[in-house]
Structure 1
Amino acid sequence: MGKKISIAATADPVRAYHHGALRPALIAAAEEVIAERGIDGFSLRETARRAGVSPSAPAHHFGDSRGLLTAIATLAFTGLGDALEVADREDYPDRRSRILAQGVAYVRYALAHQARFDLMWRSPLLDKAAPGFAFASRRAYVVMEQAVLGDDSGGPFGPDHAPAVACWSMVHGFARLAMDDAFPVKSGDSLDDMLDDLLAGMLSHLDV
């Protein structure tokens, strides 16, 4: 699973409140639970226990489990958008190279943050109308779409968005298979060593 974040089980809840650290502590504890138990094993009670606070404490910051999970998914989309923007800052010789760089950044983010990545797409568990979530998810997609359609594409899911959705679908599927360890890796290599070539080969089948 994704990188594990350690939370001190004996954290002083009063100290956390006074220093404004309860919200990030609960988010980190929730991510730890998801990484260990999967999203279906998530619970607010276990999250509170690991953060060292009362079972009712998460409600003060997030309202309910949906609010907490939406906060984590918002951070996840923000991180993905950041990773894609960093990849997009290079001066690429052609559009295909730019698209490939986006795809590689997408897959590497998924592999580095597997618990968050799993949660990002679990729509029934999230409040997709939350302003922070809506902005972060839209921003991540716009970066990808502009790589495919050009910087003046006009925003997500425009009238000619099919090529962008095709690239996204292929890269997302690749990321999911990579997370599931589905690709045969040559002896002495790692998936990271092979990522550029594998993804480039897949994207070559798209007319972009």
Structure 2
Amino acid sequence: MNAIESSRRRNGDGAARLLAAARDLLDTHGADHVTIRETARRAGVSHAAPANHFADRRALLSALAAQDFEEMAQLVEAATDGLPPASLPRARAMADAVLKYALRHPHRYRLLWRADQLDITSAPLNEAMERLYANLLVTIGDDPDSEIEPSTSRSLALWSLVHGYVSLTIDNLFSLQADERTGAPRLHAMIELLFAD
């Protein structure tokens, strides 16, 4: 291994160590407690070392969010694999995967929507977000007979419903209950309204 390869490996390892330390802070205390100085301390490096990998706190949080979007997108893809596009079963599976992720990692889920703390121009962050959104478009499907863009409006409606329900649930404002009429999980019953003729 030459000196350049060795330096690249050390830099990659350093970024990974910093991200792991920042993720630990995020999972334990939430995004507001993730600082460059504390991340460096937990990673066992000098407080100046993170500047070699992340321009500032916003860049560090954006790197975390990109990883988290990727992880959630993978879970959604696994949950919806093999289910037909524009179908209620696929929409339910997508929603269940998002809810499961948020319940397991509430601080990570909250960070994903913190535009005040993220660099929304970050290419890796946008690519990860697009991966999740692409699945959402397949889930809601297209209506070729419509003169408007139904996939965009319906996908936004589905996402707003799922995100709102999930956010209120992880903030303990909603509880996981069944629909009074059908007995289905509340989230499923709400999604059915979007697919009703």
- TM-score w.r.t. the length of structure 1 is 0.76
TM superposition shift of 1:92? 5.0
> Residues 44 and 55 of structure 1 are in contact (CA less than 8 Å); yes or no, is this contact kept in structure 2?
yes
Question: In the alignment, what sits opposite 2:64?
Answer: 72
**Which 4+ residue blocks in structure 1 deviate beyond 6 angstroms?**
none
Figure out how many residues of one structure are paired with residues of the other and give that number. Answer: 178
Question: In the alignment, what sits opposite 1:205?
Answer: 193
Equivalent runs, 1:154-173 vs 2, <5 Å: 159-160=149-150, 161-173=152-164
Whole-Å Cα distance in 2 between the matches of residues 129 and 201 of structure 1? 36
Question: In the alignment, what sits opposite 1:180?
Answer: 171
Equivalent runs, 1:7-18 vs 2, <5 Å: 18=10
Report the residue type matching 1:142 in the other structure. Answer: A
Whole-Å Cα distance in 1 between the matches of residues 176 and 106 of structure 2? 19
Whole-Å Cα distance in 2 between the matches of residues 102 and 136 of structure 1? 16
TM superposition shift of 1:204? 2.0
Report the residue type matching 2:163 in the other structure. Answer: H
Structure-2 change in CA distance of 1:185 and 1:106 (3 Å): closer
Structure 1 regions of 5+ residues with no counterpart? 1-16, 153-157, 187-195
> Residues 69 and 128 of structure 2 are in contact (CA less than 8 Å); yes or no, is this contact kept in structure 1?
yes
Question: In the alignment, what sits opposite 2:117?
Answer: 125
TM superposition shift of 1:114? 1.9
Deviation readout 1:9-63 (Å, 9 max, x if unpaired): xxxxxxxx74842212111211222233322222110111111110011110111
Q: 1:91 aligns with which of 83, 87, 94?
A: 83
Whole-Å Cα distance in 2 between the matches of residues 38 and 115 of structure 1? 5
Structure-2 change in CA distance of 1:34 and 1:101 (3 Å): same
Question: In the alignment, what sits opposite 1:190?
Answer: none
Equivalent runs, 1:145-160 vs 2, <5 Å: 145-150=137-142, 159-160=149-150
Whole-Å Cα distance in 2 between the matches of residues 184 and 178 of structure 1? 6
Taking only the aligned residue pairs, the percentage that are identical comes to: 34
TM superposition shift of 1:93? 9.8
2:96 corresponds to 1:104: yes
Deviation readout 1:68-95 (Å, 9 max, x if unpaired): 1110010011111111111121335971
> Residues 27 and 68 of structure 1 are in contact (CA less than 8 Å); yes or no, is this contact kept in structure 2?
yes
Structure-2 change in CA distance of 1:27 and 1:171 (3 Å): same
Question: In the alignment, what sits opposite 1:4?
Answer: none
TM superposition shift of 1:185? 5.5
Whole-Å Cα distance in 1 between the matches of residues 84 and 101 of structure 2? 20
> Residues 88 and 101 of structure 1 are in contact (CA less than 8 Å); yes or no, is this contact kept in structure 2?
yes
> Residues 88 and 195 of structure 2 are in contact (CA less than 8 Å); yes or no, is this contact kept in structure 1?
no
Whole-Å Cα distance in 1 between the matches of residues 141 and 187 of structure 2? 19
